[in-house]
Amino acid sequence: MKLRVFVSVIAFFAINNITRSFAYKYNTKYFDQTIDHFNFASYGSQTFKQKYLYNDSYWDKENGPIYFYTGNEGPIEGFLQNSGLVYDLAVKSKALIVFAEHRFYGSSLPFGAHSFSPANISLLTLEQAMADYATLITHLKENLGVHNTPVIAFGGSYGGMLSAYMRFKYPNVIYGALAASAPIYLIAGKGDRTEFFADVTKDFEKADPLCPKAVMTAFTMLDNLVKTGDNGIKKVSELFKLCKTLDKGQVTHLQGWVRNSFTSLAMMDYPYPTDFLAPLPGSPVNYACKVILSANDPLQGLAEAAGLFYNGTGGSLKCFDIITEFIECADPTGCGTGNDGLAWDYQACTELILPEGSNGKTDMFPSLPFTLKMRDEYCQKTWKVTPRNNWLDISVWGEDISTSSNIIFSNGELDPWRGGGVLSNVSDSLIAVLVEGGAHHYDMRGSDTRDIPSVIAIRKQEATIINKWVAEAKLSNKQRKIST
């Protein structure tokens, strides 16, 4: 799931234990977290430092709830700075804000530099991460003396999945959840694995009906140039401004590099400039299509548009290193780079079922398949593990979620992950909302004067529902006290 936050973005955030003086303010703390929650003999009482960020400046300890963000597959600072909805709601409801970092990501490494050895990384599971969150929440409530304070979970993308799963698995800890852009059906193996890149293509088609055709033409031109031999490969390398001349065996990697860029542009297709995955202009899909269609030829346009994601608007890169900028892995939508990319690759090789790849028929990309068999072979070769494709259907309920309650499943109309999520109400308290014209967890972003009307309306609806949950929890606690 393409939500790896680039190091260039995270580098802006210091890791010292101080309050930030810009953007959304927070403090940093570390919790001594249990290494293995489910095997009493394996590590005994050993712990690791789990990072969490908090802001208590709005909190009314007597009446305010706790808003708990279930961290994603990357350093937690980047998710906090791009989840301003939590702050906007906390100001009005006087909530305590907590953003918890996911084990094996950012600086929350159970075994430090040795965390990614085969033996140690086996402790990277959904179950362990959720137990971390439940343990941390319980500790905070006890330490702060707020045992009856309701906790609402928030998350976007993988974090959104975790916020829903926390309500499934720990309803005693989490009273309600906002699961934004959470493709829980697809990841459990219940969705159409070919739909993702088809939906990326539809986003570009909505921007301009001629755009996908131009992209396909450009990929054909690339193939034809490569077939002409060294001169053709040299020309391709020059067009794409590669730091090194392309090797003939790297052509499919270049295609994946381009596909990765367009996938990210579709996910980050916000109406104003953002710098979540990369510094991008507003409506980057429209921007990319204009670049492609106004170029001298489609291939030149493809090269310029693909570079937008890796260099960003006003970027300083003079050339592209496609080998380091895009890493092929068990997630065809991209794993990112560095340790966070390794961790996500492992998760994609164990519990998480991700899209199949592109096919060049239902989408505008070259045929770059990634079947379940190919995944098995890759994961055995890379991690010596074989994925358990039915495990999430068992452990986090698959599509059989009707016995849960108090979850908002939000999706953006332009989000290519939308098809794998909950798109209609399951019950009166399992509610699906759609942000028309919205991209990947757009509703989780903070309020902005450039917001489109649909996201403003959805955020108001979400706030009303969450406030109702908090009021219900308070009333329930009050009645419980009276009865005792």
Q: Which residues are catalytic?
A: 157, 415, 440
Cα separation, 263 vs 280, in Å, equals 13
SS (HEC) of 268-315: CCCCCCECCCCCECCCHHHHHHHHHHHCCCHHHHHHHHHHHHHHCCCC
Quick check: helix, strand or coil at residue 433?
strand
Nearest Cα to Cα of residue 10 among 380, 337, 418, 242: 337
Classified as helix, coil or strand, 408 is strand
424 HSE (CA, 13 A, CB side): 1
Contacting residues for 364 by C-beta, under 8 A, at least 6 apart: 200, 201, 204, 212, 213, 215, 216, 219
Q: Which residues pair with 53 in a beta bridge?
A: 28, 99
Q: Which of 153, 270, 145, 293 is nearest to 217 (CA)?
A: 293
Say if CB 473 and CB 99 are below 8 A apart: no
Backbone dihedral angles phi then psi of residue 231, each to the nearest 5 degrees: -65, -40
**Contact (CB, 8 A) for 191 and 419:** yes
Q: Which residues of 405-417 are buried (b: 16+ CB within 10 A; e: fewer)?
A: bbbbbbbbebbbb
Look-up of token digits 């054909």: 220
Of residues 262, 268, 423, the one with CA closest to residue 358: 262
Contact 106, 51 (CB under 8 A): yes
State the Cα–Cα distance between residues 115 and 111, nearest whole angstrom.
Answer: 4
How long, in residues, is the chain? 484
SS3 55: strand
Q: Are 344 and 121 in contact (CB under 8 A)?
A: no
**Of residues 342, 388, 380, the one with CA closest to residue 121:** 342
Q: Which amino acid is at 382?
A: T
